[in-house]
Chain A
């Protein structure tokens, strides 16, 4: 696992039924491209987050494929419709097989 990977998400605490809310996510990750060489001239192995998903009550909201050109500490901002109270689940998939998860509940106001 890339060391000290830490996800962060921002979800409003509540919304009206059917309202469109803005979600923001950030994860600390070096996103090593696999194209750089170290001081000895050897390739630094690729180590990136290759997929990011967000689900709401089991239903997929967004599913993103990431490529090596995405910068360090990838940040996503996107919108989702909130039909009912529930939980947003965020998942990041690392090249090395690690999976990082976070979840935030949202209430109907």
Chain B
């Protein structure tokens, strides 16, 4: 807005051009995401714990270009959906010493409906903070007698995509109280800590500057409701923790490892900032 007053001296054409770049392009768009006739919640009032930080939470979908948004609205045009099909093959494939597949115990992947919306969560039995990768590997190692998958491997991201799609449209609602409270606090501390030579915290970009540009990239609020996401620049799926590694690396810091206690806590905290946004299944981003 400050820039605009300076621009008044410019010609009318230039004024229009710059004002457009300064306002319409910088903010999230007004658009509605409908997939298969179901409207996906991409805007919501911020959860109570964000009071004073954000008023409204918005999916990263609203910050992307029109062609990217359209791509996600159709399950065939969405290239991420092919990995859901691949995940289904893994779901039915027997692996490990016990001769079991996911389907042996859980039957169809529909059994996973709702899981994506409430994870990461503290597992009631073990007291550990579990995300989807954690649950998948727990099943593989303890019940199937199979080897754990790498947290960012194709097999794992395919499976995460399959599980996420089952909860499409459900509102994110991760618990932050009770047993989850210490993880929430730890994640929050990391979120607001500056890292790297550039001394950037998550909040520097995604809370204070969402809607602005960082080089040519339009900063979103960094919500994780759309994950796993198909990134057009990678032509593959990315997990929340894979994204954290990329973000922290870009601050020119040594990053925590995907699957570390730090990133697990951060994943819970970032997910809680999106409580109220819908799970998008597999989203498409640039």
Contacts and interface: CB of A to CB of B under 8 A. Distances in A.
SS of A interface (majority):
strand
Contacts of A75: 79
B76 A8 contact: yes
Nearest to B83: A28
Contact of A4 (B76, B77, B154, B235): B154
Contact of B89 (A6, A26, A71, A72): A6
Interface in B62-114: 76-77, 79, 81-83, 85-86, 89
A24 interface: yes
Interface residues of B, number: 13
Interface residues of A, number: 13
A27 B235 CA distance: 12
B235 A6 contact: no
Nearest to A26: B82
Contacts of B158: 4
A24 B89 contact: no
Interface string A1-19: 0011010101000000000
B76 A72 contact: no
Contacts of A26: 76, 79, 82
- The binding surface of chain B is classed by DSSP as helix
Nearest to A7: B82
A71 B89 CA distance: 24
Given A4-B86, A28-B82, A28-B83, A10 B235 contact: no
Nearest to B85: A6
A10 B83 CA distance: 16
A8 B82 contact: yes
A67 interface: no
A73 interface: yes
A71 B235 contact: yes
Nearest to A5: B86
A20 B89 CA distance: 33
A6 to B, nearest CB: 5
26 contacts: A3-B154, A4-B86, A4-B89, A4-B154, A4-B158, A6-B82, A6-B86, A8-B76, A8-B81, A8-B82, A8-B85, A10-B76, A24-B76, A24-B77, A26-B79, A26-B82, A27-B82, A28-B83, A28-B86, A71-B235, A72-B235, A72-B236, A73-B79, A73-B82, A73-B235, A75-B79
Given A24-B77, A27-B82, 10 more contacts: A4-B86, A4-B89, A4-B158, A6-B86, A6-B89, A8-B85, A24-B76, A28-B83, A28-B86, A75-B79
Nearest 10 A-B pairs (CB), nearest first?
A72-B235, A10-B76, A28-B82, A6-B86, A8-B82, A24-B76, A6-B85, A73-B79, A4-B86, A73-B235
